[in-house]
Amino acid sequence: YHPDKQEADVPAGEVEERVQRFIEIDQAWKILGNEETKKEYDLQQREDNLTKEWPLHAQIYLEDMSWNEDEQLYTLSCRCGGSYSVFKSETKDVSLVCCDTCSLVIEILQ
């Protein structure tokens, strides 16, 4: 897809598609090649997938969850017996958390 490696006999419409594809790949590389932007991307993808695939069980304020100082982790018991967990380092970036044993999701309110 690189513009410098295009064949001379490619139709104009296809050249434009290839250039557009190259731009998309370049943008993805810039996001995924940087640790901070990759983390943001991964968290957004995780949240998008949770909202599409799993039902929202409850909306919970972070301060209503149990705090584990040693692990720097907030937890909440799920009705199935599992638990919802979110690390302190993720609290600003994560708004949806999946139960570790079932398909229920909670929304963390700020």
Report the topology of domain 56-108.
Answer: Microbial ribonuclease fold (3.10.660)
pLDDT digits (tens, 9 = 90+) for 34-90: 988 888 888 888 777 766 666 778 889 999 999 999 999 999 999 899 999 999 988
How far is the C-alpha of 103 from the C-alpha of 55, rounded, in Å?
7
Residue 12, pLDDT > 70, answer yes
- State the pLDDT at residue 53: 62
What is the arrangement of strands in the sheet containing 105-109, beginning at the earlier edge strand?
Answer: 56-61, 105-109, 96-98
Fill in the amino acid letter for 47: E
Judged by DSSP in three states, 87 sits in strand
pLDDT digits (tens, 9 = 90+) for 17-29: 888 888 898 888 8
Model-level pTM greater than 0.85? Answer: no
Residue 94, pLDDT > 80, answer no
